[in-house]
Each structure stands twice: as C-alpha cells, then as structure tokens.
C-alpha cells in the first residue's frame, strides 16, 4: 500500500510540482490549499506523513501542526517554507515539527528525508516495545511517551525529542560529545541543528524534574551526560 502524504500548500504551482514528484516516487498525495482544509482532511483519514507550508492565510502551518500533534503525536511533520531565519525554524520544531526545509529545496533532499521518517514508522509498527526505566520514570520509545506513576503523569513526546532521549538512554552515565549526538540523531552537526537540540534538551530536563534521581548534566566544552542511579534498562 502506498504511503499517504498530506500536502498543505497555498501556492498552486509549487504544490502541483511537489505532488507530481511525490506521486512519481510512489506516494499517495492529498493536496489542501490552506490550514483549515488541511485540518479537516487530517481528521477524516490517517496519513503517514505531513508536508506543511508555514505562511498561509487563516490557519498557518504552525497552528495546523499543533492541531495535528495534539491528535497524533507520532505522524512525521515536515515544514516547507520560504522563511529561513533561525527563529522561524525553531518555531517549527516547537510547534511539533520533525524537520524544516527552506524553499526552494532539492526534491531529492525532500525524498531522502521522507524516507528516513518512513523507515522509522515501519520500525515502530512492529510488536516490539522499547522501554527505558529512569528512576521512577518510564520512557516508552515505541509510544513516544514518558510515564510517571507516582504523580499519574503521562507526557507525549514529539518524534525528534523521543529519538534524542532514546540516544541518551542508550548511553547512561557516559560523557557524550555534542557533535556525536547531533550526527547520530539529526545526521549533521551544523549551528541550526545544535540550537534545535538545545530546545529539546530544555524540554527533557523539565520532564526529569518529576524524578530527582535523574539529571542531564552539561559538561562545558565537552558535551552532556545523562546521570541516573540505575542503568537505563531497555526492555524489548
């Protein structure tokens, strides 16, 4: 079965080009002209990946991403926008996006990035559960959730934040260099990805406050260390 793509783009010509190229690559694409139409369509049927413009009249791409993420914390969201400032990209990640491409972009790059997300989705569809115990916190990577039973707290994680936390959990109590983390989770270590990682690290530290035994230390000039009294236990 072809993977379904929700394409929300108000530029008719650009959307036609992207839709044609994606369909040639084997995707089933549904195009919507604005955020309201995109949101209505997303509620009617499941999609495997969402490709959203940011600047649109009415509901923009950021607002649409937040609605989508509230309904489905796992579906990959890629922004495609003419906005290129660092803060614009960070806003995209904070809204729940997994990736951000600046127009005009290379179609091969988009297809490669989409394939990365599709591979991840296929892995998550199997029956195995990947779970890490961190003090009184339980991180279920397969569901992109953190559970804290003492306070009855459940936290949904954006996919990229879950991937970052998984990498940290696989290397507990070790000094991890920033560039190694970036290459492992993002695939590159440029300035922008470093800033986006900092956004997620701030969120992860906030989650850890639920349990005083788990900490994420910054080793100035050297990297990071996930500190936990017990080894992060992975259960399959």
204 and 221 within one domain: yes
Q: What is the mean pLDDT of residues 74-81?
A: 88
pLDDT band, very low/low/confident/very high, at 118 (cuts 50, 70, 90):
confident
If asked whether residues 80 and 135 sit together in one domain, one would say no
Predicted local confidence at residue 35, as pLDDT? 94
The rounded distance, in Å, linking the Cα atoms of 76 and 122 is 12
What's the Rg (C-alpha) of the chain? Answer: 18
Q: What is the pLDDT of residue 89?
A: 81
Mean pLDDT over 195-220 rounds to: 89
Same domain, 223 and 208: yes
What is the overall mean pLDDT for the chain? 86
Answer whether 0.85 is exceeded by the pTM: no
Q: Which whole number is the average pLDDT over 118-124?
A: 68
pLDDT at 191: 76
d(CA 92, CA 65): 8
> pLDDT-derived band of residue 64, with 50, 70 and 90 as boundaries?
very high
Among 135, 164, 159, CA closest to 145: 159
Mean pLDDT, rounded, for 70-99: 84
Contact 73, 158 (CB under 8 A): yes
Q: What sign for the dihedral angle of Cα 135, 233, 184, 126? A: negative
In this structure, are strands 4-8 and 28-32 parallel, antiparallel, or unpaired?
parallel
Is residue 74 within 8 Å of 159, Cβ to Cβ?
yes
**What's the whole-number mean pLDDT along residues 200-220?**
90
φ and ψ at residue 52, rounded to 5 degrees: -120, 135
Q: Beta-carbon neighbour count of residue 122 at 10 Å?
A: 11
Q: How far apart are CA 118 and CA 98, in angstroms?
A: 12
Q: Tokens 């990947």, residue?
A: 130
pLDDT at 126: 57
**What average pLDDT score do residues 199-211 get?**
91
For strands 137-140 and 131-134, give the pairing.
Answer: antiparallel
Query: Three-class SS of residue 22?
Result: helix
Answer for the pair 76, 121: CB distance below 8 angstroms, yes or no.
yes
Between residues 59 and 128, the one the model is more confident about: 59
Question: Are both 115 and 204 inside the same structural domain?
Answer: no
Enter the tokens of residue 207. 């989650």
Q: What is residue 157's predicted lDDT score, i.e. its pLDDT? A: 84
Eight-class DSSP state of 138: E
- pLDDT of 221 higher than 80: no
Judgement on whether residues 16 and 61 belong to the same structural domain of the protein:
yes
Question: What domain range includes position 212?
Answer: 131-235
Query: Which of 103, 124, 145 is the last residue before a domain boundary?
Result: 124
- Cα 117 from Cα 162, distance rounded (Å): 13
pLDDT, tens digit, 9 for 90 and up, residues 3-16: 899 999 999 999 99
Give, rounded to a whole angstrom, the gap between the first and last alpha carbons of the chain: 28
- Read off the pLDDT band of 198 (50, 70, 90): confident
Residue 196 confidence (pLDDT): 81
The Cα diameter of the chain in Å comes to: 56
Look at residue 47 and tell me whether its pLDDT is greater than 90.
Answer: yes
CATH number at residue 26: 3.40.50.2300
Kindly report the length of the chain.
Answer: 236
- Do 13 and 55 lie in one domain? The reply is yes
| Residue where the block lists tokens 């779970």 | 131
User: Is the confidence at residue 218, as pLDDT, over 70?
Assistant: yes
The CATH number assigned to the domain holding 178 equals 1.10.10.10
Do residue 105 and residue 210 come from a single domain?
no
Judgement on whether residues 167 and 194 belong to the same structural domain of the protein: yes
Judge if 144 and 68 occupy the same domain. Answer: no
Question: Residue holding tokens 């259960």?
Answer: 235
Domain total in the chain: 2
């Amino acid at each position: 079965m072809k993977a379904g793509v929700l394409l929300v783009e108000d530029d008719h010509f650009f959307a036609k080009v992207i839709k044609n190229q994606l369909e040639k690559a084997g995707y089933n694409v549904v195009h919507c002209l604005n955020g309201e139409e995109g949101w209505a369509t997303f509620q009617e049927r499941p999609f495997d990946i969402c490709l959203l413009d940011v600047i649109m009249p009415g509901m923009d791409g950021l607002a649409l991403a937040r609605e989508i993420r509230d309904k489905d914390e796992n579906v990959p969201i890629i922004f495609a926008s003419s906005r290129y400032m660092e803060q614009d990209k960070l806003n995209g990640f904070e809204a729940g996006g997994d990736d951000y491409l600046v127009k005009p972009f290379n179609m091969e790059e988009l297809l490669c990035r989409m394939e990365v997300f599709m591979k991840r989705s296929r892995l998550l569809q199997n029956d195995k559960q990947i779970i890490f115990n961190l003090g009184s916190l339980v991180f279920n990577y397969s569901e992109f959730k953190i559970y804290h039973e003492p306070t009855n707290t459940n936290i949904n994680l954006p996919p990229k934040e879950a991937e970052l936390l998984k990498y940290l959990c696989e290397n507990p109590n070790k000094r991890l260099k920033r560039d190694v983390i970036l290459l492992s989770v993002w695939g590159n270590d440029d300035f922008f990805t470093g800033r986006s990682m900092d956004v997620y690290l701030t969120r992860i530290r906030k989650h850890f406050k639920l349990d005083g035994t788990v900490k994420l230390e910054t080793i100035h000039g050297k990297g990071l260390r996930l500190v936990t009294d017990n080894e992060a236990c992975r259960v399959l």
